[in-house]
Amino acid sequence: MSDLPEIHGVCPPRFAAVKDAFSANFIDAPEGLNELAAGFSVCIEGETIVDLRAGYADTARTRPFEADTLVPVFSTGKAVMAALIALCVERGLLDYERPVAGYWPAFGAAGKAAITVGQLMSHQAGLPGFDEAVDPSLWFDPVSVLERLCAQAPMWEPGTASGYHPITIGYLAGELFRLVDGRSMGTALREEFPGLDLWIGLPQAEHHRVAQMRKPTAAPDLGTIDAVKRAAFLEKGSAPGGRGSTEWRMMEIPSANLHGTARDVARLMTVVATGEFEGRMVLSANTLAQMRRERIAGVDRVVPFDMSWAAGVMRNERLGVFGPNPEAVGHSGWGGSCAWADPDVKLSAAYVMTRQSPHLIGDPRAVRLQQALYASL
């Protein structure tokens, strides 16, 4: 047990159970994962209804977790990446059913000519990592990363299975976006959604606002290890390294280093829940249907889950971690963060925290909040 910190933010009486669950995660969390700092935010029809935060931004407990404290949400940022790709589809710059090589000829080498945009975004391309050992510093050279991935043959027949691409999908989707839109994803995020405190590539001048993370005490369970899982997660060069956190934060890696607040991740996800952002139509019903529909289902080649993948987001149908609606979509991030959109009730939500757990999907603290939320609706 630990002392309960002061809970800040807004939570109407109707959602008192959510605040209770949020508080309980600090003093009696499942599996002993008591929070150090956390935020949870919920939007309904684009309006922020619940926005809670508590704790300290550093492990020494000297810096309060403020409304503008930024948290690295790791793969939860893939939901934002998926929304940006959907924006290109909405504008006719991309088509989920067309081959990636039609927009990016170099990608089509080594047996990848027929891989569609939808297959790439649903982790079917067979490029979850490098098929040869690389130095972790390679990731700080995006041109070299893309050259290697374009030259590389798929690790399984594209279209036959999903295999989660932890880092590579950000480089691939980011380059595809740049080729058709002309901007980087980080630039487009700031320009398309002004006022959101979300960053793909965080300027050094903002680094003082970033919360200190406590890494998990155990490794995630990946199931039976094979060459595909080693390439994705376990090889020395499977993730960026060797340059320090300052340079990592400044890089634009849409799959891995989004920094933001729960409030603004939830606000961005209203686009996926409703198609609108602050009263402005961003994605039509047709584009949303294409983005959210199932593109492949089954046991994933990389993460040990029976998955239903949409175009860049996890469908809730087989996971049940984003509420009771199987049509909800979202994404989880390393250590426990998550964000989701539920079109049935026009709801979006995001959970961020600084104490990381080994759970790849469905952190029990987030599930507790989700259950309290839906019980209050």
Active site residues: 75
Q: Which residues of 258-275 are buried (b: 16+ CB within 10 A; e: fewer)?
A: bbbbbbbbbbbbbbbbbb
8 A C-beta contact, residue 199 and residue 161: no
Strands, E assignment, the chain: 8-10, 37-44, 47-55, 71-74, 199-200, 258-260, 276-277, 280-281, 296-299, 306-309, 314-315, 329-332, 338-342, 347-353
The structure tokens listed for 356 are 């990381």
How far is CA 70 from its chain centroid? 15
147: Cβ contacts below 8 Å, ≥ 6 apart: none
The structure tokens listed for 226 are 């094979």
The structure tokens listed for 331 are 């994404």
Indicate the SS3 state at residue 192.
helix
DSSP states along 223-268: -S--HHHIIIIISTTSS--SS-HHHHHHS--TTT-EEE-HHHHHHH
Give the residue from 163, 167, 128, 178 showing the smallest Cα distance to 255: 167
91: Cβ contacts below 8 Å, ≥ 6 apart: none
CA-to-CA distance for 84 and 121, rounded, in angstroms? 12
Fill in the amino acid letter for 186.
G
Placement of tokens 């139509």 in the chain:
281
8 A C-beta contact, residue 39 and residue 84: no
8 A C-beta contact, residue 48 and residue 349: no
The structure tokens listed for 314 are 């996890």
